[in-house]
Structure 1
Amino acid sequence: MRIKRYVVNQLPEAMPMIRKDLGANALILDTKKINTGGFLGLFKKQKLEVIAALDPVKMEQDHKEKVAAALKQEKALRAQDSRKDSVKGQSDNPDIVNEIKSIKQFLFEMMETEQLPESLKQLNNLLEEQNLTKSIRSNLLAVMAEKMKEKPGLSTEAILTIARQELLHRLKSLPVTSLDPKAKMVCFVGPTGVGKTTTIAKIAAEYLLNQQKKVGLITSDTYRIAAVEQLRTYAKILGIPLEVIHSTEELKKAVSKLEECDVILMDTAGRNYQQKKYIHDLEQLLNEQDAIQVNLVISLTAKYEDMRDVAKNFQPVGVDQLIFTKRDETKSYGSILNLIDEFDMPLSYITNGQNVPDDITVATPELIVDLILGEDGHDRSSESIT
């Protein structure tokens, strides 16, 4: 067995040296803080001692236990930091923050260099294919490593079952809900081409046909003639009123005309969300209304980086909920969990086609986990959205 000792400031600094000296299959045997330097015991500096080894004969079990210990330590540190966060003056503790970053970086390094145990590596690959963030993946792997330590030799099927349970638990602590039944007015905002108008038609049909509510429509999307005509066609088919507005004053009049409706659904123009003037104008338009619920509509075909930009840029509008569209046009669904986890926004619906009113589903935790883990065993397009 080849064993080497490294003294560094933080664990990530040691990783390239270990790979260079011992290769990608090297194992980290131990880490501990030590004091170095100084004169007559004074002015010592605290460093991190890392012991790494390469043993081609040694069984993988020791490595699994080391990974599990590191993952468990990362989880414990996160919990400790979370508890401290609630106490004034403790949340900025640099030692805690740096150690969490160090452990996290260590986990990321293991994922990138494929040093995870084979069973966890397969799970990580699946989650990576679904474009889940490294942070979410490492947190889930921490839990999985603990489970494997308690019950060694778990099958791939058992690991997927536990992963499903953990994701469900995580999602149930996140906001997932349908439209607020108390909301008199529901507005839909988002980039161009995400399917806002079709989504509105589906929800209008649900309110009208299944909930027997009086529904009114408003559109401010006068930049595209086709958009107004599309919504007008849906309004005629459903036999519900439609008001077209161009200003805040016209919006007030439209709401007054539709005051006998139980719910008013409002379409907005899908313009360049990176233009501050567009967001400002939209903010001014919606801020004049009371009891309004704002839904941000995002396409699942978009890159996650673009989704993040959309969510950030629309925040001044006062987004209450998310709706994801075009589920049928992609096989990657990790962005659903990424976005609601990062922005803490409730998720209401996921749409999966052009058919009105069928292709829309309530975004339950079970549906999201099914999509991410590839266990969607039946056609959900026929499910009711109530």
Structure 2
Amino acid sequence: MNIKRYVAKSIPEAILMIRKDLGDDALILYSRSINIAPRWMIWKRQEAVEVVATVNQDNKRLDELAKEIEEFKRELDFLKKSQEELSQIKRLDKSEELEIPFLKFHNFQETTKESSILISTSGEFDASSRYFFKGLNFYPFFDERAYPTALAFLGPTGVGKTTTIAKIAARMSLLMKKRVCLITLDTFRIAALDQLKAYADIMDLPFFVAHSPKELKDVIKKEKNSLDIFLIDTMGFSPLQDNKFKEVSAFLSLEIKTENHLVLCANYRFKELDMYINKFKILKPVSIIWTKIDEVISLGHIIDLSIRNNLPISLFGTGQSVPDNLEVANDEFLSNQLNSKYKDFCAEGYKV
């Protein structure tokens, strides 16, 4: 999709520029007034218009193209927010922890006062409190890596791996400017293959299907000098199928640095999730990505499971919209969620 931005003194002038550049078939996606005066001249305003246009090469409807550009705009806003979230929050040391009261999640499995993990920095519960989660670690998913790197996404069927990969691909390729490709191993579900290919086409990213470990290794060997990130969508399967773990492991024995990330739904039951995590540990995931947290009324169980299994949380899926419903996991995000939406905890009136 050929999308271009134009700045002119007026809409008619912009239209002339667009026609000259893109021809009479060009489509205007959106326009807005902007100030083009130098930033240091804060007292001056120089009005102009910004227009984004495209050539409808694929015969897509205007509303579809407009929707895509709106999604990219939202992703830019998302990046600004995430840059703040990616900064590491200084952990409270042990002496500081002893000075403030613990807060306890209601629905933790066998939780006692001794194992409560939520600590308030203010010592009080209110809508603006900031919390630290004792024992909970976070994985810096969007930090710089040594390239090339393969990121493989594991999990049962239906947990949202494909959608999550599309969100990650949008951020890495469009905003972080990484050379990204999408690879699927899921040749059993045609819908999953078509869905990932559609996302690749929209973002103009290379897309490959690997039917065997050899095909995957051949793709990476051929492309590793021209790409930074290989996002691999593994096949979903029941964790009760022990033979499938060996099959996936054979695919992921690659000659480049590989990270395995476990994707799980927050709206599954505690015992099922605990079983899934223990089964998938054989593939050595470095983090958990929790999806569908917008569909639950409690976060206690997923925090508890992450701590029990000593697996950092890297990302949260907060909805189906691509690419914006994806949040970086950290204390600040969880604090905001607990303050604004979830009622998992109550203040304990005692000192540790």
Counterpart-to-counterpart distance in 1, 2:176 and 2:274:
34
SS at match of 1:297: strand
Per the alignment, residue 303 of structure 1 pairs with 269
Answer 1 or 2: which has greater strand percent: 2
| Whole-angstrom distance in 1 between the partners of 2:170 and 2:318 | 16
Deviation at 1:218, TM superposition (A): 0.7
CA contact (8 A) 1:327 1:351 kept: yes
Aligned to 1:285: 251
Aligned to 1:151: none
Root mean square deviation, CA, Å:
3.0
CA contact 1:177–1:346 (8 Å) conserved in 2: no
CA distance in 1, matches of 2:138, 2:239: 24
Corresponding position of 2:181: 216
**8 Å contact kept, 1:215–1:264:** yes
Question: Residue in 1 aligned with 2:340?
Answer: 375
Partners of 1:143 and 1:327 in 2: how far apart?
22
Instruction: Give the whole-Å Cα distance in 2 for the aligned partners of 1:356 and 1:143.
Output: 33
Residues in 1 aligned to 2:204 and 2:119: alpha-carbon distance in whole angstroms:
53
For residue 193 of structure 1, give the secondary structure of its aligned residue in structure 2. coil
- 2: distance between equivalents of 1:295 and 1:142? 25
Q: What are the superposed Cα offsets for residues 343-366 of structure 1, whole Å, 9 maximum, x if unpaired?
A: 111211101111111000101112
Identify the residue that residue 271 of structure 1 maps to in structure 2: 237
CA contact (8 A) 1:179 1:348 kept: no
Contact persistence 2:128–2:339 (CA under 8 A): no
CA shift at 1:292, angstroms?
A: 0.3
Distance 1:343 1:239, change over 3 A: same
Aligned residue pairs: how many?
240
**Does the Cα contact within 8 Å between 1:164 and 1:369 map onto a contact in 2?**
yes
Distance 1:369 1:305, change over 3 A: farther
Q: Does 1:177 align with 2:177?
A: no
Letter in 1 for 2:304: N
Map 1:174-213 onto structure 2 (within 5 A): 174-179=137-142, 181-182=144-145, 184-213=149-178
| Structure 2 match to 1:71 | none
1:333 matched residue in structure 2: 299
Shift of 1:221: 0.4
TM-score (norm 2): 0.62
- Measured in 2, the distance between the counterparts of 1:275 and 1:310 equals 11
Matched, 1:321 2:309: no
Given that residues 216 and 258 in structure 1 are in contact (C-alpha distance below 8 angstroms), is that contact kept between their aligned partners in structure 2? Answer: no
Which stretch shows the higher mean deviation, 223-232 or 135-144? 135-144
Query: How far 1:163 sits from its partner (Å)?
Result: 12
Correspondence list, 1:56-67, <5 A: none
Structure 2 contact 137–313 (Cα < 8 Å) conserved: no
Q: Among the aligned pairs, what percent are the same residue?
A: 32
Q: Using the alignment, how far apart are the partners of 2:119 and 2:200 within structure 1?
A: 50
Change (3 A) 1:133 1:367: farther
Matched residue, 1:354: 320
Q: Is 1:231–2:196 an aligned residue pair?
A: yes
Q: 1:222 to 1:169 in 2, by over 3 A?
A: closer
CA spacing shift, 1:248–1:376, aligned 2, 3 Å: same
2-side partners of 1:176 and 1:326: how far apart? 19
Specify the alignment match of 1:168 in structure 2: 132
> Residues 320 and 160 of structure 1: is their aligned pair in 2 closer, same or farther, counting only changes over 3 Å?
same
CA distance in 2, matches of 1:348, 1:198: 16
Amino acid at match of 1:190: G
Q: How many Å separate the matches in 2 of 1:204 and 1:158?
A: 40
Is residue 140–residue 163 contact of structure 1 (8 Å, CA) maintained in 2?
no
Alignment of 1:85-164 (within 5 A): 127-128=105-106, 131-135=107-111, 138-140=114-116, 159-160=124-125
CA distance in 2, matches of 1:315, 1:267: 18
Cα separation, partners in 2 of 1:290 and 1:257, compared to 1, 3 Å: closer
The C-alpha deviation readout for 1:300-356, integer Å capped at 9, x for no partner, is 001111111111001111111110101111111112311221111121110111111
Task: Determine which structure has the larger helix proportion and give its number.
Answer: 1
Aligned to 2:43: none
Gapped runs of 5+ residues in structure 2? 1-93, 95-100, 343-352
Give me the whole-angstrom Cα distance separating, in 1, the residues matched to 2:119 and 2:341: 24
Contact persistence 1:286–1:317 (CA under 8 A): no
Q: Call closer, same or farther: CA 1:234–1:142 in 2, change over 3 Å.
A: closer
Q: Which residue of the partner structure matches residue 4 of structure 1?
A: none
> For 2:112 and 2:233, how far apart are their aligned partners in 1?
34
